[in-house]
Structure 1
Amino acid sequence: MFLINWFYGILSSLGLYHKSGKILFLGLDNAGKTTLLHMLKSDKLGTYQPTQHPNVEELTMGSINFTTIDLGGHLIARRLWLEYLQDDVSAIVFLIDSSDQERFRESKQELDRLLTDDQIGKRPFLVLGNKIDKQGAVSEMYLKGALGLDGLTTGKQGGPTNNRPIEIFMCSIRNQMGFREGFQWLSQYVQ
Structure 2
Amino acid sequence: MFIFDWFYGILASLGLWQKDAKILFLGLDNAGKTTLLHMLKDERLVQHQPTQHPTSEELSIGKIKFKAFDLGGHQIARRVWKDYYAKITLLEEINNYLLYTRSYSSFLGLFGVWSGVYYTEKVDAVVYLVDAYDKERFAESKRELDALLSDEALANVPFLILGNKIDIPYAASEDELRYHLGLTNFTTGKGKVNLGDSNVRPLEVFMCSIVRKMGYGDGFKWVSQYIK
TM-score normalised over the length of structure 2: 0.77
AA aligned opposite 1:8 = L
**Alpha-carbon distance between aligned partners in 2 of 1:165 and 1:128, rounded to the nearest angstrom:** 14
Gaps of 5+ in 2: 89-119
Q: 2:160 aligns with which of 111, 123, 126?
A: 126
User: Which whole-Å deviations, capped at 9, do the CAs of 1:129-186 have from their partners, x for residues lacking one?
Assistant: 0000112201101100110011221111132222100111000000000000000001
CA distance in 2, matches of 1:117, 1:71: 17
**Residue type matched to 1:178 in 2?**
G
Q: What code does the residue aligned with 1:181 have?
A: D
Q: What CA distance in whole angstroms lies between the structure 2 residues aligned with 1:30 and 1:41?
A: 19
Distance 1:183-1:3 versus aligned 2 partners, 3 A rule: farther
1:37: which partner in 2?
37
Query: CA–CA distance in 2 between the matches of 1:4 and 1:102?
Result: 39
Shift >4 Å, 4+ stretches: 1-5
Moved more, 92-101 or 159-168: 159-168
The one-letter code of the counterpart of 1:82 is: K
Using structure 1 for the length normalisation, give the TM-score.
0.92
Q: Specify the alignment match of 1:139 in structure 2.
A: 173
What is the CA deviation profile of residues 29-83 of structure 1, one whole-angstrom value per residue up to 9, with x for unaligned ones? 0000000001011100021111011221111233221111100000111111112
CA RMSD of aligned residues (A): 1.9
Partner of 2:9: 6
**Shift in Å, 1:122:** 1.1
Letter in 1 for 2:226: Y
Structure 1 residues 56 and 82: alpha-carbon distance in aligned structure 2, compared to 1, 3 A threshold? same
Instruction: Name which of structure 1's ranges 153-162 and 104-113 shifts more when overlaid on structure 2.
Output: 153-162
More helix by share: 2
Structure label with greater radius of gyration: 2
Matched length: 188
Tell me the residue number matched to 2:205. Answer: 168
Per-residue deviation, residues 84-111 of structure 1 (Å, max 9, x unmatched)? 1124111000000000000000000000
